[in-house]
A and B are shown apart, each in its own frame.
Chain A
Amino acid sequence: MKLRAALLVIACALLLLAAVFVGPRLAGAQGQFIVWQLRVPRVLVGVLVGATLALVGAVFQALFQNPLATSDTVGTTAGATVGALFALALDGSRTVQGLPLVTVCAFGGALGASLLVASFASSRTAHSSDVLLAGIAVTLATSALASGIQYVSDSRALFAATQWSLGQLPQVGYRGVLLLAPICALSCTLLLLLTRPLQAFALGEDLAHSQGVNVPRLRLFALGLGSLGVAACVAWCGPIAFVGLIVPHLVRRLLGSSYRVLLPMSLCVGATLLVSCDAFARLIVPGRELPVGIVTAALGAPALVLLVARGRR
């Protein structure tokens, strides 16, 4: 098992390195610029976003004891969408303190929606299934709000909104990396510290409670920290489907369900998967780039069906 985990980490590192060099051949000063100023920061954003989405997916699946839970389930993505649509309807090119208004509003929307769910989750009497329901309710309500905004938006804003909703790794340069890195690092590090109480959840929430886990507090911490990280990712990249859902299942198949392995390895594999998908998206249509969200969704859906079908046997 340790050997397998080590091999997987090495494979991830090699793939990440390779992703920098995938694309049209580059040479000379222009090539240097493209590699160091465009590709490397983009790979770094991919690493941060992929790692965060996958780890949060694994944590939420553990927390809700539900193999289908992701950050989408608790309203984070839906909240970000409302924020982004709102900003695009106002004026897509506006900036706040040098940051795109879309990013700021998406971040705010994501945090707002998740805080609603998290405040419900910290109640003493709420059960995991109640929290999931609250997440679905918030998602539905924000979707209605999003439809309303789209209804009053003009066609340019609508096109921009469609683009945003596909999910892509943007060219944000090192500044974007520096803004994203501390939030993702904080969220992931603190989530990894919750490994032990989360493991107790594997045999059920009530048993974990009887074993000494403070269930409402754990739920509040995990939801709050997870949503914070995901909100930052979604704000920059839009909703990127399936990474949070599929990576934990993939790691489970390869390495089992000990969270001491599953959580950090989800982080590694998530980073690699997203960056690889993005490199693939550069190649698939010559001369054009596909949004990485399309690639992850196209690959993710059949892969998930396969994993779940094989896991059931």
Chain B
Amino acid sequence: MAKLEFVDLSVKLGERTLLDGITLSLAPGEFVALIGPNGAGKTTLLKTALALRTPTSGSVRLAGASVAELSARKRAGLIAWLPQHIRTEEPVTGLESVAAARYRFSESHAHSRRAAERALGRVGASAYAERRVTELSGGERQRVAFACLVAQEAETLLFDEPANHLDPAQQLDVYRLLGELWREGRSILCINHDVNLLHHLGDGGRATRGRVVGLRGGRFVFDVPFDSPALPAQVGALFGMDVESLQGSEQRFIVPRSRSTR
């Protein structure tokens, strides 16, 4: 299984520093939720792991090799990505989009389509198989992209705000599905704005193996387990809010009360 490591990673864009000396590792089967204010560098971090962005210094290693040196096909077997937005002008059907995500496999188109049907079924998007993605809503299109990621069958999965565009019930569905993929042994790095949703990954025993990593201004701020008693205070400080920690019947809720007065 592949281990994903960011080693003293910095990314600069002109004068701006997007990431500043990030060291973080995601062991096989681990779940890391990445949180931080807008512009903290979360998406940039995911993009360096996909070799979509080149580090200014430091490196990203996947299964022991630098991601920049892996062949595109090999990398696609190790790591897959759900981007935040899918923009497209091409009126291609959901099924064809997902079948195309099987590019890394050398297989017949019929085989790709069957795998695509299974993936769409798994994420509850079978209804979109024959619809054109340009006619789908943002949330529906996100489901199709989720099916693409499932169809790619990579070991490590990157999610950029997977609950974006979704209504609350669907957000729970997505996190339940993330939990399933995690229990299958995949490692997951997930950008997330609401730590309360992590409860829905399910399986309390395993939840202790998940971590929350805070990022702000391109810098590493904290790295704590899901159930850490320090998490509410950390989250509050990270976003500059006063937060309240409420104990519900099954989970702890971290709820913002007001902006911090500094």
Known: A199-B92, A202-B88. A212 touches B76 (CB 8 A): yes
Tell me which residues across on chain A come within 8 A of B148, comparing CB atoms: 203, 207, 211
A200 lies within 8 A of chain B by Cβ = yes
**Are B76 and A210 in contact (CB-based, < 8 A)?**
yes
Known: A196-B103, A211-B100. A257 touches B91 (CB 8 A): yes
**Are B96 and A199 in contact (CB-based, < 8 A)?**
yes
Tell me which residues across on chain B come within 8 A of A199, comparing CB atoms: 92, 96, 99-100
**Are A204 and B103 in contact (CB-based, < 8 A)?**
no
**Are A204 and B86 in contact (CB-based, < 8 A)?**
yes
Q: How far, in angstroms, from A208 to B152 measured CA to CA in the complex?
A: 11
Within 8 A of A (CB), among B79-106: 79-81, 83, 86-93, 96-97, 99-101, 103-104
Within 8 A of B (CB), among A201-224: 202-204, 206-215
Known: A199-B92, A210-B81, A213-B72. A260 touches B50 (CB 8 A): no
**Are A202 and B90 in contact (CB-based, < 8 A)?**
yes
**Are A212 and B132 in contact (CB-based, < 8 A)?**
no
B73 lies within 8 A of chain A by Cβ = yes
B58 lies within 8 A of chain A by Cβ = no
Tell me which of B83, B96, B133 has the highest count of chain A C-beta atoms within 10 A of its own C-beta. Answer: B96
Tell me which residues across on chain A come within 8 A of B28, comparing CB atoms: none
**Are A210 and B50 in contact (CB-based, < 8 A)?**
yes
Q: Which of A204, A252, A257 contacts B96 (CB 8 A)?
A: A257
User: Total contacts A to B, CB within 8 angstroms?
Assistant: 94
Tell me which residues across on chain B come within 8 A of A252, comparing CB atoms: 91
Known: A65-B88, A210-B81. A258 touches B93 (CB 8 A): yes
Q: Which of A204, A212, A257 contacts B72 (CB 8 A)?
A: A212
Tell me which residues across on chain B come within 8 A of A215, comparing CB atoms: 72
**Are B90 and A212 in contact (CB-based, < 8 A)?**
no
A92 lies within 8 A of chain B by Cβ = no
**Are B93 and A256 in contact (CB-based, < 8 A)?**
yes
A100 lies within 8 A of chain B by Cβ = no
CB distance from B203 to the nearest CB of A (A): 28
B62 lies within 8 A of chain A by Cβ = no
Q: How far, in angstroms, from A211 to B73 measured CA to CA in the complex?
A: 7
Tell me which residues across on chain B come within 8 A of A62, comparing CB atoms: 90
Tell me which residues across on chain B come within 8 A of A202, comparing CB atoms: 88, 90, 92, 96-97, 100, 133
**Are A203 and B97 in contact (CB-based, < 8 A)?**
yes
Known: A202-B97, A210-B76. A65 touches B104 (CB 8 A): no
Known: A209-B72, A212-B72, A212-B76. A204 touches B100 (CB 8 A): no
**Are B103 and A258 in contact (CB-based, < 8 A)?**
no
Within 8 A of A (CB), among B115-162: 132-133, 145, 148, 152
Known: A203-B97, A207-B86. A212 touches B50 (CB 8 A): no
Known: A204-B86, A257-B90. A214 touches B96 (CB 8 A): no
B221 lies within 8 A of chain A by Cβ = no
Known: A202-B92, A203-B97, A206-B52. A213 touches B87 (CB 8 A): no
Known: A199-B92, A202-B90, A258-B92. A212 touches B104 (CB 8 A): yes
Q: How far, in angstroms, from A252 to B88 measured CA to CA in the complex?
A: 15
Tell me which residues across on chain B come within 8 A of A125, comparing CB atoms: 54
B75 lies within 8 A of chain A by Cβ = yes
Give the A interface residue count (CB, 8 A).
28
**Are A207 and B96 in contact (CB-based, < 8 A)?**
no
Known: A203-B148, A257-B132. A211 touches B101 (CB 8 A): yes
B114 lies within 8 A of chain A by Cβ = no
**Are A203 and B86 in contact (CB-based, < 8 A)?**
yes
Nearest residue (CB) in A for B105 is A212
Tell me which residues across on chain A come within 8 A of B91, comparing CB atoms: 252, 256-257, 311
Tell me which residues across on chain A come within 8 A of B51, comparing CB atoms: 209
Tell me which of B90, B101, B109 has the highest count of chain A C-beta atoms within 10 A of its own C-beta. Answer: B90
Known: A210-B50, A212-B75. A66 touches B89 (CB 8 A): yes
Tell me which of A62, A125, A210, A215 has the highest count of chain B C-beta atoms within 10 A of its own C-beta. Answer: A210
Q: How far, in angstroms, from A202 to B100 measured CA to CA in the complex?
A: 9
Tell me which of B79, B80, B100, B101 has the highest count of chain A C-beta atoms within 10 A of its own C-beta. Answer: B100
Residue numbers of B with Cβ under 8 A of A are 47, 50-52, 54, 71-73, 75-77, 79-81, 83, 86-93, 96-97, 99-101, 103-104, 109, 132-133, 145, 148, 152
Q: Could you list 30 examples of A-B contacts with CB < 8 Å?
A: A65-B88, A65-B89, A66-B89, A196-B100, A196-B103, A197-B103, A199-B96, A200-B101, A202-B100, A203-B88, A203-B92, A204-B87, A207-B81, A207-B83, A207-B86, A207-B145, A208-B103, A209-B50, A209-B52, A210-B52, A210-B76, A211-B103, A211-B104, A212-B77, A212-B104, A214-B72, A256-B92, A256-B132, A257-B90, A257-B93
List 10 other contacts, CB 8 Å, given A203-B148, A211-B148, A212-B72: A125-B54, A202-B133, A204-B86, A210-B52, A210-B76, A210-B79, A210-B80, A211-B103, A212-B76, A258-B92
